[in-house]
Chains A and B, each alone.
Chain A
Amino acid sequence: MITIVNHHPARSAARTDTQPRFAAGETVDFAIVGAGAAGGVVARELARAGFTVVVLEQGPHLQKEDFHHDELAITALSALTNDPKTQPNTFRSSESDEAQVRPVVQYGRLVGGGSVHFTGNYWRMHEIDFVERSRKGSIEGTGFTDWPITYAELEPYYSKVEWEMGVSGLAGSSPFDPPRSRPYPLPPLPVKPAGVLAERAARKLGWHAFPAPMAILSQPYRGRPPCIQCGFCKTFGCEVGAKSSTLAAMFPDAAATGRCEIRPVSYVRKIELDKRGHVTGVKYFDSGKREMFQRARAVVVCANGAETPRLLLMSRSKLFPDGLANSSGVVGKHLMFNGYAFAGGLFEHRINGYRGMVVTRVIHDLYELDPRLGIAGGGGFDFRFDWGPIGFALEGLPKEAPNWGPEYKGMLRDYYIRSVYVLAHATQLPMPNNSISLDPKLTDAWGLPAIRMTFADHPNDLKLYAYLLDRAIELLDAAGATRRWAYPLERAFPEVHLLGTCRMGNDPATSVVDRFNRTHDIPNLFLVDGSSLVTSGRGQPTMTIQALAFRAAEHAARLARRGELSKRS
Chain B
Amino acid sequence: MSGVLSAAQRRDLDALTALIIPTDEDAGAREARIVDFIDRGLTSFAGDQRTLFEQGLTDLESRAQRSGGRAFADLDPAAQLALARELDAGKSEFFGAVRVATIAGFLANPEYGGNTGKVGWQLIGFEDRFGWQPPFGDYDREPSPG
Contacts and interface: CB of A to CB of B under 8 A. Distances in A.
Contacts of B106: 393
Contacts of B126: 354, 389, 416-417
Contact of A404 (B19, B112, B134): B19
A69 interface: yes
Given A356-B132, A390-B108, A405 B137 contact: no
Interface stretch (B6-14, B60-68, B96-104): B96-104
B45 A196 contact: no
A374 interface: no
Contact of A2 (B47, B120, B135): B47
Contact of B139 (A3, A77, A351, A403): A351
Given A404-B88, A413-B123, A417-B124, A2 B132 contact: no
A190 B144 contact: no
B139 A72 contact: no
A494 B104 CA distance: 20
A196 B44 contact: no
B137 A351 contact: yes
Nearest to A8: B45
A230 B136 CA distance: 11
A23 interface: no
B137 A412 contact: no
A417 B134 contact: no
Contacts of B132: 229-231, 355-356
Interface string B93-119: 000000110111011110110000000
Nearest to B103: A393
B115 to A, nearest CB: 9
Nearest to A392: B124
Contact of B24 (A1, A232, A404, A406): A406
Interface string B20-37: 111010101000000000
A328 to B, nearest CB: 42
Interface in A27-71: 69-71
A311 B91 CA distance: 40
Contacts of A351: 137-139
Contacts of B22: 405-406, 409
A404 B138 contact: no
A493 to B, nearest CB: 18
Given A2-B48, A394-B104, A403 B99 contact: yes
A192 B136 contact: yes
Given A2-B45, A2-B48, A406-B22, A193 B137 contact: yes
9 contacts: A69-B130, A190-B140, A193-B140, A350-B139, A394-B100, A404-B21, A406-B22, A406-B24, A413-B123
